[in-house]
Amino acid sequence: MSTRYLPLYVTGALLSLLFGLGAIQFDGFGSMRVVLNLFSDNAFLMITAIGMTLVIISGGIDLSVGSVIALSGVLCGLLIGEYGWHPLAAFALILPLATLFGAIMGMWIHVYKLQPFIVTLAGMFFARGLATMLSEESIAIDHPFYDAVADFGFSLPGNAWLGTSTLLLLLVLVVAVLVMHYSRFGAYVYALGGNHQSAELMGVPVAKATIGIYATSSFLAALAGIVFTFYTFSGYALTAVGTELDAIAAVVIGGTLLTGGSGFVVGTILGVLMMGVIQTYIIFDGSLSSWWTKIVIGLLLFFFIVLQKLLNRGRVQHA
């Protein structure tokens, strides 16, 4: 068995174990409804985390995603709620703007040889600051389009509902998997994370790839921000504080190497599901307090990081 897939299997096994445990212990835990709720409640986080996976596989990090989600939400609120734009027109403005924002961060990282960590940290302050400046209060969004979005979906057996957010997430997932494994850009991402210098020598257009990676991450974060407004029907500058950490945690739990070069988008989805199942378990249990979520996620992170370390050591010895 290739060690490449091992973290993925471990995550999958732990996820099924925890889910099975919940299903045995609690009535209604092991239902289609709970599973689909996991997806719809975490759709925005999954979309963000898919972008984060790209960035981390390429050997970088993007701390700005939480703020971009908030900024995108506030812009939705302003354009649709205050100025009465059609939501689609608003989205058509917000998504390219966010992509440009990410591209600029990527450009700074590439051209000025700055660490992704500090550039995206500045980006995080900037986007959150812009969102706060635009509106300090939550702006309600009331538009027939949003009602239609909320109503759209398919009913599944087991009283489950496949809504717009989940469908959108699945679309993003499919495109991301195709791009990462069957396109030139995907190969660039893996090559950059494997070894930046060799990638450059092999003829990977590093500038284009780096800019593209951060642009994609910001695009997906803005999309996540839009999806977030689908639940809340509002835009607020203080939403999604700390989402970048959740996304990074999900990526790591999903088996992507934090040093870059190896990982899978599907693993990240499993990572988010894992965090979601832990939360659901704690809610079903009722006697456990919410802070256990943070501690358990911390322990899980630790477990996976050590696992990565061990696998990496094995790889070096084989080489």
Partner 1 sequence: MSQQPQSLSIVNKVDSPADEALIAARKARYSPGKSTNALGRYLWPVSALVLLLLVNLFMDASFFSISYQDGRLYGSLIDILNRSAPVALLAIGMSVVIATGGIDLSVGAVMAIAGAVCAGMLVGGNYSLFTVICAGLTVGIVAGLVNGGLVSFLGIQPIVATLLLMVAGRGVAQLINQGQIVTFQSDAFAFIGIGAFLGLPFPVWLVLITLLLSQLLLRRTALGLFIEAVGCNASASRYLGINDKGVKLFVYGLTGFCAAIAGMIATADIQGADGNNTGLWLELDAILAVVIGGAALSGGRFSLVLSVVGALIIQTLSTTIILSGLPAKFNLLIKASVVLIVLLLQSDVFRQHAQSVLKGLKGGKA
| Residues contributing to the site for partner 1 (CB under 8 A) | 61, 108, 111-115, 117-119, 121-123, 125-126, 128-130, 132-133, 136, 245, 248-249, 252, 258-259, 289-295, 297-299, 301-302, 305-306, 309, 313, 316-317
Instruction: Please report how close the Cβ of residue 90 comes to partner 1 at its closest, in angstroms.
Output: 22
In terms of CB distance, is 122 or 173 closer to partner 1? 122
CB-hemisphere CA count at 13 Å for 267? 27
Radius of gyration for the chain, computed over Cα atoms and rounded to the nearest angstrom:
20
In terms of CB distance, is 2 or 290 closer to partner 1? 290
* Under 8 Å between Cβ of 272 and 45: yes
Instruction: Please report how close the Cβ of residue 298 comes to partner 1 at its closest, in angstroms.
Output: 2
Q: What is the DSSP string of 223-291?
A: HHHHHHHHHHSEE-TTTTTTHHHHHHHHHHHTT--TTSS---HHHHHHHHHHHHHHHHHHHHH-SS-TH
In terms of CB distance, is 108 or 188 closer to partner 1? 108
Q: How far apart are CA 248 and CA 211, in angstroms?
A: 20
Q: Phi and psi (nearest 5°) for 156? A: -115, 160
Instruction: Please report how close the Cβ of residue 55 comes to partner 1 at its closest, in angstroms.
Output: 13
Instruction: Please report how close the Cβ of residue 273 comes to partner 1 at its closest, in angstroms.
Output: 18
In terms of CB distance, is 186 or 254 closer to partner 1? 254
Instruction: Please report how close the Cβ of residue 83 comes to partner 1 at its closest, in angstroms.
Output: 20
In terms of CB distance, is 83 or 291 closer to partner 1? 291
CB-hemisphere CA count at 13 Å for 285? 15
In terms of CB distance, is 73 or 87 closer to partner 1? 73
Closest by CA to 48, choosing from 226, 264, 190, 206, is: 226
Q: Phi and psi (nearest 5°) for 241? A: -70, 125
Instruction: Please report how close the Cβ of residue 74 comes to partner 1 at its closest, in angstroms.
Output: 12
Secondary structure class of 60 (helix, strand, coil):
coil
Instruction: Please report how close the Cβ of residue 104 comes to partner 1 at its closest, in angstroms.
Output: 10
In terms of CB distance, is 162 or 282 closer to partner 1? 282
Q: How far apart are CA 252 and CA 305, in angstroms?
A: 7
* Under 8 Å between Cβ of 228 and 65: no
